[in-house]
Amino acid sequence: MGGGMVMEVDVAIVGGGMAGLALAVALQERGIQAHVFEKAPAKRKHFGTGMSIGQNGIRALEGIKPGLSEKMESLGQRTRQFTTTIRQPGEPEIKISPSSQLVASERMFTITWKSACDSLLDSLIDSDKVHRRHTLIDYKPVEDGVEALFEVQVDEASGLSTAETKVTAKLLVGADGVWSRVRELMVGDEPRNLNLVTWLGIVPTDIARSMQLHQDDEISFISYPSKRTGIITCHCGSGQSLWHFRIPDESGELMKSFTSDFHDHGQEARKMRVLKRIEAMKELQNMKTVIERTESSVIREDRNFDRLPLSSWSDPSGHVVLLGDAAHGMYPGPGMGARVAFEDAHQLALLLHEAFSSPTPATAVPAAIKRACLQSRKRRELRSSSDGSTSILPPWLEIQTPASGNRSKSQECEFLEYIYIYIYLYI
C-alpha cells in the first residue's frame, strides 16, 4: 500500500448507510472512537423511498440510543392497518386484513428514508467522524488489527483527482451494502440476481389521498400473484407517501436498459419505464396518475440482489466483520433489510462496549467478534413479540402459503429457511 494520509482509529466502519450510521451512533454513545468512511461525496438530497420499522427494529434502535425510535416515529407515521388485495385474472378480488389486530397491538411505523438517515446523522455525538468521498480499496492484517486503504476523491467537482488514506483500526466493519468490497476481499462471492426490478417514489400525501391509494395509518399491498407483481403504498409521515412497484425480469432485458446513476439524465427514462408497465394494467389508473405526478428526481429504479448466508460473518482473525446488507442482503419482499441492520448494529455495539472496556481491547475485540454468533440468543429476545412468540417476520407474511413451482414463493421459503438458520442454528 502506497503513501498518503495516515489515521489510527478504534473502529473503522466502511459505508454510511443505515447499518454503518446506526453502528457509529451506538459506538459513539458508548465512548468508542468509531469513524465512518463513505464513498458518496455528500448526503443525498433525495432518496425516493421509505421503510417500515416494526418491533425488532424499534427495540434495536432503543438499544442503540435511548429516544432514537421515538425521534424517528415522530417524523414518520404509525401503522395500524395492513391490507392485502389479491387480484387474479377471471376471479373476484380478495381483500385480506387479518393482521390488523396484530399490527395494532405491535408498535410499527413508516418513515421516509431521508428522515431515518437524518435522524441517525443527527444522533451522532461527533459527526466529524463521518468521512465522505472515501472508497475502500483494500485491507490487510497488521499486528492487533487491520490496515485499510481508501481512495479519497479530492476534487469534488471533477471527481478526477484522488489521494490515498491509510487507516489502522482494531476492527474494520464492512457495512458497505450488497455490493460490499469488504465481502469481496474477505469471501470473494458475488451477490445473487433475483431478477426483480423495483421502482419506488415519494409523492405528497395529498396526491396519494386524492387517488385513494391508502388510508393515513395503512400499508396497502396489491398483489398480482400470476404476474409476480405487487404494489405497496403507505403514508411515511411529514406529508409524504411512498409507492413501491415490483415486477419480475427473468430474461434480464429490462435491466439492460438501465443507467445505474441515480442523479443523471436517466431520471426521465426511469419514469417512462415504470409508467409503461403501469399503463399496461388498466385497473391501476389511479397509480398511474400518482406516478405521473411524482417528480422524476425522486423515483428510484433498482435491480434486486441478495446475499446467501455465510457460516461466519467475520474473518478468521476477528479484526474484520460484515454488517447489514454486506452480511445478509435480503429478498426485499418482507421489508426487513433496515430492521435487521439495526439489530446487527445494536448487538455488535454491546459486544464492543464490553471488549473496549477490558484492560486489553487489542485481544478482547477479536475474541468478542469470534464469540458474536453465540450472542444471537439476545437477538431472539429482541424479536420476541408481546405475546411471547419469536418472529423476525412481519405478521402478514404468515398468510402467504408457499407453493411449489412459483419463484416468488420459493424465494419466500428460502428467506424463511434463512431466518430459521439465522435465529436457531447460530445459538
The Cα 47–Cα 298 span in angstroms is 6
* Nearest partner of 51 among 72, 20, 23, 68, judged by Cα: 72
Confirm or reject binding of residue 20 to ligand FAD (CB under 6 A).
yes
* Binds ligand FAD by CB under 6 A, chosen from 57, 333, 337, 394: 337
Q: Which range, of 24-32, 60-68, 129-137, 246-254, touches ligand FAD by CB under 6 A?
A: 129-137
* Binds ligand FAD by CB under 6 A, chosen from 12, 338, 364, 382: 338
Give the three cell numbers for residue 322: 460484515
The interface with ligand FAD within residues 162-221 (CB under 6 A) comprises: 175-177, 181, 200
Confirm or reject binding of residue 124 to ligand FAD (CB under 6 A).
no
Nearest distance from C-beta of residue 242 to ligand FAD, angstroms: 8
Confirm or reject binding of residue 18 to ligand FAD (CB under 6 A).
yes
Residue owning grid cell 469470534: 370
* DSSP structural state of residue 273: H
- Alpha-carbon torsion, ordered 159, 162, 168, 170, to 10 deg: 20
The Cα 301–Cα 310 span in angstroms is 28
What single-letter amino acid sits at 211?
M
Confirm or reject binding of residue 38 to ligand FAD (CB under 6 A).
yes
* Nearest partner of 77 among 236, 207, 308, judged by Cα: 236
Nearest distance from C-beta of residue 332 to ligand FAD, angstroms: 5
The Cα 162–Cα 167 span in angstroms is 16
* Nearest partner of 307 among 320, 324, 295, 319, judged by Cα: 324
Question: Cα dihedral sign for 298, 302, 308, 310?
Answer: negative
Residue closer to ligand FAD by CB (options 16, 395) is 16
Nearest distance from C-beta of residue 25 to ligand FAD, angstroms: 13
Confirm or reject binding of residue 313 to ligand FAD (CB under 6 A).
no
Residue closer to ligand FAD by CB (options 149, 363) is 149
The Cα 49–Cα 241 span in angstroms is 9
Confirm or reject binding of residue 10 to ligand FAD (CB under 6 A).
no
Residue closer to ligand FAD by CB (options 144, 397) is 397
Q: Which residues bind ligand FAD (CB under 6 A)?
A: 14-20, 37-40, 47, 49, 51, 113, 134-136, 175-177, 181, 200, 324-326, 332, 335, 337-338, 341
